[in-house]
Structure 1
Amino acid sequence: MAASSVCRVGCAAGRALLRGSRSPAALLTLTRNRGVVTYAQALHNIPETQVTTLENGLRVASEESNQPTCTVGVWIRVGSRYENEKNNGAGYFLEHLAFKGTKKRPCAAFEKEVESMGAHLNGYTSREQTAYYIKALSKDMPKGISHKELVDVAKQHFSGVPFTYKEDAVPILPRCRFTGSEIRVRDDALPHAHIALAVEGPGWADPDNVVLLVANSIIGRYDRTFGGGKNQSSRLATLAVEHKLCHSFQTFNTSYSDTGLFGFHFVCDPLSIDDMLSCAQGEWMRLCTSTTESEVKRAKNFLRNAMVAQLDGTTPVCENIGSHLLNYGRRIPLEEWDSRIAAVDARMVREVCSKYIYDKCPAVAAVGPIEQLLDYNRIRSAMYWIRF
């Protein structure tokens, strides 16, 4: 079991005011230049993530800045994948048990102490991670939140936690085997059909992940509440608007230590299932055969925007640090992510998508009024195009 104690105290962003009389053309040029400079500064001026490993293997990471709030948490590399039939659900149970108080702090006193600070305490359990974190005002931290002081606090509270266990050891995960399959839960009482389609994707550390993120950004996402109508940058979204194919769709690239799921999910009316699925699979095939450089350029800009958005708030940054330490063994700087994204071109997208999507057996999950959902063999047959 590996754990990381993570602290984030965010940085305050300044504002620049435009003063004086400027022509519209000059103002537009200045705005463009400021945008480029701001993005470059975001990549280069991020505070350093300091990491210290304690004697028992616990890694303490911190990133200091001047925001009035801070987030402190513990990320542990264990989750539901480590459970078996005998202890299934134990991780989720323990996660909630931690909020029921202790001998020194009964539940009511514990909750009152947190609420009196105006703090937010939370936790979650996923397939491979368990996390507990608290977000509070920086002044409510026990000490001044330099890295050395955080390490001292970690030693005080976690130095007694063993790194290895003689009994009841954390099991080694068996190799995951992906199998094309389907699960259908027909319920005509539901107003809409929910359909998900996925193929096996790469694990966290696989470099193909960046290319697949670009591919997903090309497909994009859509919801009927979006503005723009037919003027969507995503081809699939444009089709969805023009032909009223769905209420919403989104792509996903879910990674684990040794495997992943790459796919899409959509919500539609019962009679639109066939058309929407056909268009979505058609976009997958187009990624494999005819992705263009203009699409890739737009998708990379979208990813850069999402990447910088990770700086918005101490909690997402704290979670990002903890996840990186567990999955990559280090915090990967945004500048490095940007260079990886910049290296992606249309040829890479076509090759990597062909590797994971083209002529592969998908996993299909469907819930709701799904009588019109095609037979699995028909869905499988749309995973390739006959080439002449």
Structure 2
Amino acid sequence: MSGAGGVRGASGPAGRAVTRVVDSDPLGGTVRRTVLPSGLRVLTEAIPTMRSVSFGIWVAVGSRDETGPQAGVSHFLEHLLFKGTRKRSALDISAAIEAVGGETNAFTTKEYTCYYARVLDQDLPLAIDVMCDLVADSVLAAADVETERGVILEEIAMHDDEPGDEVHDLLARAVYGDHPLGRLISGTEETISPMSRRQIQSFYRRRYTAPSIVIAAAGNLEHTEVVKLVRQALHGTVLDGEPAAPAPLRPADTRVRTSRPGSVVEHKETEQAHVVLGCPGIGRLDDRRFALGVLNNVLGGGMSSRLFQEIRERRGLAYSVYSYSSQYADTGLFAVYAGCAPGKVDEVLELVRAELAEVAAHGVTDAELARGKGMAKGSYVLNLEDTGSRMSRLAKGELLFGDLLPVDELLARVDAVSADEVNALAADLLARPMSLAVVGPFGPDDFPAAG
């Protein structure tokens, strides 16, 4: 079955839109993809058994696309687009969707930004008109910039009061240093406070272009109707531009350099210490990503994982302990988190390092391999049980991978992961020098070296 990547760049003769069937999923519905003349892409999955529709506008820009002085502008812009357009005030936007029982929201990541709405199927035309309006035609009023500046500064302060969240950002800084991947998505008080409306507007117009945007919808819908409504909503806006090809996948950044492994300690008088031990991982297009999913499940992906069993169940040293991985276009991050009493940090870190070294040296057992694969497959399928997750699957497949793997093929890729593949990855990944991030009642000299 052809994937979305098989028709990338097609815009049709004389600038006409081109539509292809991408996938027909027995667990869902038919997936179709249309490339508009402007280069904007529309993907839908028709699921007639649903009475709702999730509609999302995904922009291929995130915090890693910002310069140092711009840090946080993507997230700032995400806030501002809900503040009003030439047709609607902020109240008009929220009231229109809430009046039909729907919901809207948005989020910014390091590589993309998403704006979405979930409504009853009969209200999809309204959702498309509202969401396309706010993304394509925001006015970015000066008064709204000042209002949202205060909101974002409060959000940053609130984040600083959540040590369990802050510690993961500290690890990213420890691993990636001054590279944009090491920065806070929200920016900092030092970058947000002086940021001008002109800077934000310039970023908006340069980055929010039709070829860089993917629109995805899933639920009880008709593809041709969604495409028609999108074209109507965008007619006459900056996203209804000259014929263009869709933007290519984000290229690998040869400037990504990781810092020398070390420790970053944030002193806070907390009752619980938060620690994360991690290292550079693999990029999302790396063929080993399926083996990584299995390995992560074995190490710290659930209550039956090695780390949970050893640190929480057998020794009672931590309430929360888990491993995770993040993948970007050209690199990644693998890490282990634990929250424990400050006096137990050294013992917890010793056990984590010992478990990672054990798996790196001797690999996983057959039983662990089977369990890790079962968890991965179950997670993939269970995460597709609502229209929102299916909408996200369409957009991420197009925006991040250039293809949409059918669910059956995805499960087959997990099934095909061998013990040799997992063990080879473990020997490589888990033997890498580790950086350490700690938030708690400690000083910088309490953790002089990672490793």
1:206 aligns with 2:321: no
With 68-77 and 316-325 compared, the bigger mean Cα shift is at: 316-325
One-letter amino acid of the counterpart of residue 80, structure 2: L
- Aligned runs of 1:254-265 on 2, under 5 Å? 254-265=326-337
- Aligned runs of 1:288-327 on 2, under 5 Å? 288-290=360-362, 291-327=364-400
Deviations 1:243-285 (A, max 9, x none): 1211101211101111110111110111111111122122212
Partner of 1:52: 34
CA contact (8 A) 2:252 2:329 kept: no
CA contact (8 A) 2:324 2:335 kept: yes
CA contact (8 A) 2:265 2:443 kept: no
Partner of 1:112: 95
CA contact (8 A) 1:270 1:371 kept: no
Deviations 1:353-373 (A, max 9, x none): 212221x22222110124699
1:279 aligns with 2:261: no
2-structure distance, mates of 1:372, 1:101: 46
2-structure distance, mates of 1:364, 1:264: 10
One-letter amino acid of the counterpart of residue 192, structure 1: Q
Partner of 1:69: 52
For 2:232, which of 144, 156, 159 is the aligned residue? 156
Deviations 1:327-384 (A, max 9, x none): 11122111121111111122211101212221x222221101246996354x41xxxx
- Aligned runs of 1:71-86 on 2, under 5 Å? 71-86=54-69
Deviations 1:275-309 (A, max 9, x none): 11122122212222221111010111111110111
- Aligned runs of 1:157-306 on 2, under 5 Å? 157-158=233-234, 160-161=240-241, 175-179=255-259, 180-187=261-268, 189-221=269-301, 233-239=304-310, 240-290=312-362, 291-306=364-379
CA contact (8 A) 1:217 1:303 kept: yes
One-letter amino acid of the counterpart of residue 245, structure 1: L
TM-score normalized by the length of structure 1: 0.78
2-structure distance, mates of 1:171, 1:257: 7
- Aligned runs of 1:367-386 on 2, under 5 Å? 367-370=439-442, 375-377=447-449, 379-380=450-451
Partner of 2:75: 92
SS at match of 1:236: helix
2-structure distance, mates of 1:277, 1:191: 18
Name the structure with the higher helix share. Answer: 2
When residues 304 and 376 of structure 1 are mapped into structure 2, their CA distance, relative to the original with a 3 A threshold, is: farther
Structure 1: 5+ residue stretches without partners: 4-41, 223-231, 381-388
SS at match of 2:318: coil
- Displacement after TM superposition at 1:182 (Å): 2.5
One-letter amino acid of the counterpart of residue 307, structure 2: L
1-structure distance, mates of 2:119, 2:221: 12
When residues 252 and 309 of structure 1 are mapped into structure 2, their CA distance, relative to the original with a 3 A threshold, is: same
2-structure distance, mates of 1:173, 1:75: 21
1-structure distance, mates of 2:254, 2:285: 18
Partner of 1:146: 222
SS at match of 2:70: coil
1-structure distance, mates of 2:252, 2:295: 32
Partner of 2:162: none
Partner of 2:138: none
- Aligned runs of 1:331-350 on 2, under 5 Å? 331-350=404-423
CA contact (8 A) 2:278 2:334 kept: yes
When residues 374 and 245 of structure 1 are mapped into structure 2, their CA distance, relative to the original with a 3 A threshold, is: farther
Partner of 2:435: 363
When residues 104 and 343 of structure 1 are mapped into structure 2, their CA distance, relative to the original with a 3 A threshold, is: same
One-letter amino acid of the counterpart of residue 318, structure 1: M
Structure 2: 5+ residue stretches without partners: 1-7, 10-23, 127-219
One-letter amino acid of the counterpart of residue 181, structure 1: G
Q: Percent of aligned pairs with the same residue?
A: 28
- Aligned runs of 1:13-24 on 2, under 5 Å? none
SS at match of 1:210: helix
When residues 317 and 130 of structure 1 are mapped into structure 2, their CA distance, relative to the original with a 3 A threshold, is: same
1-structure distance, mates of 2:103, 2:254: 36
CA RMSD, 1 decimal: 2.7
Partner of 1:38: none
One-letter amino acid of the counterpart of residue 300, structure 1: K
